[in-house]
């Protein structure tokens, strides 16, 4: 082992020796704040769009109908960014700094290639995609304008989000969170300025986001080229290597599929809701998913905060610390979800009134929220389980857990439950809302079985290492 491999940075020493529950909390808090403010931006964005005079409801529906395009593009940024971050953590735990920098540099190259390619494809097929997703003559202009402009900024979005994850992977959670917070706060400030002051309407909401992506991309990339970063982008590793790409994407597949399936869920739900409840139901669904993200994103922040700790210690072979890091992250996540469920169950009508004062929309949205949020806690457990397997390099299990809730359970339930409710003489629209808690519960059972098995294996490895 050479000298470079023997020396740990202060952050790596911290991940290897510090108290785990406190360490997970310390790493998670900045990330949670960043994710929470980012989620708040989604809500604020939809709030301002909904307030556009005369066309607010159609504009908000257009945002919801166009969101799958941007979610799919974001999925590819997660594929590369999160996949690179998990691999970097494991390699740093093994003392392989050179291997970590090879992963980082190749990820940067593929981020540029993939972002430009995917944006070009999306721009060419934008209108037929939006029509396929359920846009009609009233909502298509808003969906097209909003989605087309945001798609133009895809390379900036990739540099911002994908290249930010490796910063978290080396233990610099505060720098990671600073980028998230800066982006969200700038968006919250610029959104009403572009929409109302500059009188740009829904186009203003999109352009303000693209501008912020650009500013944040500069901030993120400055980390790698100024000062003394823990790992650097090396010129010798910039040449794309498909072998390295395979290593990155094998782990990044879990968040990728979760995002892709999230887009598919939005598409299927929007089409079903449009058929059963019209644009009012779609607008209510768009608002509710934004609100739920206020609690789902902090859970994602906790899992991302714990990921470098789990990956680093797994690379070192410190299995007891791996186990304790996962259990700590899971406990914190469940607490957040329980608080979120309680608040949204108590104040559903008041929350929905922030987005739409139409009596029909309030009635539909209040009912939907009460049904959709009660299983939020078990959804948090499932998110932690999937990220845990990704963090230790168990890509196949992580991918399976990611697709089980959305692809194998939720989407089929969108077709099954409305028909069952209809046969029972119950409003078929309720079947869409009840699909969410039903899928959460079934996915929780699957995740629980898988995680208990893995924790037993890790405990056995930990006992073996102690005895030897």
Parse the chain into domains and list their residue ranges.
Answer: 21-467
Confidence of residue 3 (pLDDT cuts 50, 70, 90): very low
The single residue listed with the structure tokens 């959305």 is 406
pTM of the model: 0.75
Identify the band that residue 2 occupies on the pLDDT scale cut at 50, 70 and 90.
very low
So what's the pLDDT on residue 54?
78
**Looking at the predicted structure, is the pLDDT value of residue 251 above 80?**
yes
- Give the model's pLDDT for residue 4: 41
Q: What is the pLDDT of residue 309?
A: 92
Work out the pLDDT band at 280, boundaries 50, 70, 90.
Answer: confident
Instruction: Measure the N-to-C terminal CA separation of the chain; round to a whole number of Å.
Output: 22
Q: CA-to-CA distance for 153 and 10, rounded, in angstroms?
A: 36
Instruction: Report pLDDT digits (tens) over 324-374.
Output: 999 999 999 989 889 888 888 898 888 888 877 778 888 888 999 999 888
**Res. 208 pLDDT band, cuts 50 70 90:** very high
Please list, in sequence order, all residues whose beta carbon lies within 8 angstroms of the beta carbon of residue 382, skipping any fewer than 6 positions away.
401, 405, 440, 443, 444, 447
Mean per-residue pLDDT, 185-201: 91
Q: Is the pLDDT at 231 greater than 60, yes or no?
A: yes
Q: Of 376, 390, 373, 377, which is closest to residue 451 (Cα–Cα)?
A: 390
User: Are 411 and 257 a contacting pair, CB within 8 Å?
Assistant: no
pLDDT in tens, 426-450: 889 899 999 999 999 999 999 999 9
Greatest C-alpha distance within the chain: 73
Q: Has residue 468 got a pLDDT over 60?
A: no
Q: What is the pLDDT of residues 95-143, one digit of tens each?
A: 899 999 999 999 999 999 999 999 999 999 999 999 988 888 888 999 9
Higher model confidence: residue 7 or residue 255?
A: 255
Phi/psi for 163 (5° steps) reads -80, -10
Distance CA 209, CA 45 (A): 10
3-state secondary structure of 232: coil
pLDDT one-digit tens code per residue, 403-426: 888 888 999 999 999 999 999 888
The alpha carbon of 392 is separated from its chain's Cα centroid by a whole number of angstroms, namely 19
């Amino acid at each position: 082992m050479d000298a470079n491999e023997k020396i740990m940075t202060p952050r790596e020493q911290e991940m290897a020796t510090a108290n785990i529950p406190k360490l997970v909390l310390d790493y998670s808090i900045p990330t949670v704040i960043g994710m929470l403010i980012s989620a708040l931006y989604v809500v604020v964005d939809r709030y301002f769009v909904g307030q556009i005079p005369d066309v607010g409801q159609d504009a908000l529906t257009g945002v919801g109908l166009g969101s799958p395009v941007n979610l799919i593009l974001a999925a590819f940024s997660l594929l590369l960014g999160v996949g690179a971050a998990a691999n970097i953590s494991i390699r740093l735990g093994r003392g392989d700094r050179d291997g970590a920098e090879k992963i980082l540099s190749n990820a940067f190259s593929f981020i540029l290639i993939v972002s430009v390619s995917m944006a070009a494809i999306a721009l060419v097929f934008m209108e037929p995609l939006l029509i396929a997703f359920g846009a009609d003559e009233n909502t298509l202009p808003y969906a097209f304008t909003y989605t087309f402009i945001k798609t133009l900024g895809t390379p900036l979005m990739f540099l911002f989000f994908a290249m930010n994850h490796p910063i978290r992977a080396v233990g610099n959670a505060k720098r990671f969170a600073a980028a998230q917070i800066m982006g969200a706060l700038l968006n919250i400030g610029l959104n009403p300025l572009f929409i109302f002051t500059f009188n740009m309407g829904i186009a203003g909401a999109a352009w303000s986001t693209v501008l912020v992506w650009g500013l944040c991309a500069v901030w993120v990339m400055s980390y790698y080229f100024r000062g003394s970063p823990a790992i650097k982008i090396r010129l010798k590793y910039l040449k794309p290597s498909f072998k390295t790409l395979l290593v990155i994407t094998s782990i990044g597949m879990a968040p990728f599929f979760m995002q892709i399936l999230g887009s598919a869920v939005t598409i299927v739900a929007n089409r079903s809701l449009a058929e059963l409840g019209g644009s009012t139901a779609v607008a209510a669904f768009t608002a509710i998913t934004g609100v739920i993200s206020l609690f789902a994103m902090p859970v994602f922040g906790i899992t991302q905060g714990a990921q470098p700790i789990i990956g680093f210690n797994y690379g070192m072979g410190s299995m007891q610390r791996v186990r304790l890091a996962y259990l700590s992250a899971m406990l914190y996540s469940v607490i957040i979800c329980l608080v979120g469920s309680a608040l949204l169950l108590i104040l559903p009508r008041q929350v929905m009134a922030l987005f739409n004062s139409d009596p029909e929309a309030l009635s539909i949205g209040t009912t939907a929220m009460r049904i959709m949020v009660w299983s939020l806690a078990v959804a948090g457990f499932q998110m932690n389980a999937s990220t845990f397997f990704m963090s230790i390099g168990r890509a196949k299990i992580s991918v399976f857990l990611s697709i089980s809730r959305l692809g194998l359970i939720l989407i089929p339930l969108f077709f099954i439950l409305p028909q069952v409710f209809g046969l029972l003489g119950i409003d078929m629209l309720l079947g869409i809302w009840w699909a969410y808690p039903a899928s959460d519960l079934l996915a929780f059972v699957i995740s629980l079985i898988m995680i208990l098995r893995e924790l037993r294996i890790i405990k056995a490895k930990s006992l073996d290492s102690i005895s030897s």
